[in-house]
Amino acid sequence: MKCEKVKERLQAFIDNETSSEVTEEIRNHLTSCISCQNELRELQKIDTFLLAFHDEEVPEELSIKLLNISQSE
């Protein structure tokens, strides 16, 4: 599997949403590709960062403002 295809599927790989065949292909590719290893690490950092905010509640007034902005566009 080439880098382009691996990078397209890395988030699904992290989320365990790839088939066993694709998972194995990505793992094999990652053993020898520093670029994709770096991309994987960056995505994992982002996931970890976002998980810290997963349980944060958005204030109601902010939610209303965001909804109003998106509806006016």
- Determine if the pTM surpasses 0.85: no
Task: Please write the tens of the pLDDT for every residue from 13-62.
Answer: 999 999 999 999 999 999 999 999 999 999 999 998 888 776 667 788 88
CA gap 31, 14 in Å, rounded: 16
Task: Spell out a b/e string for 8-36, using b for 16 or more CB atoms within 10 Å of the CB, else e.
Answer: ebbbebeeeebeeebeebbeebbeebeeb
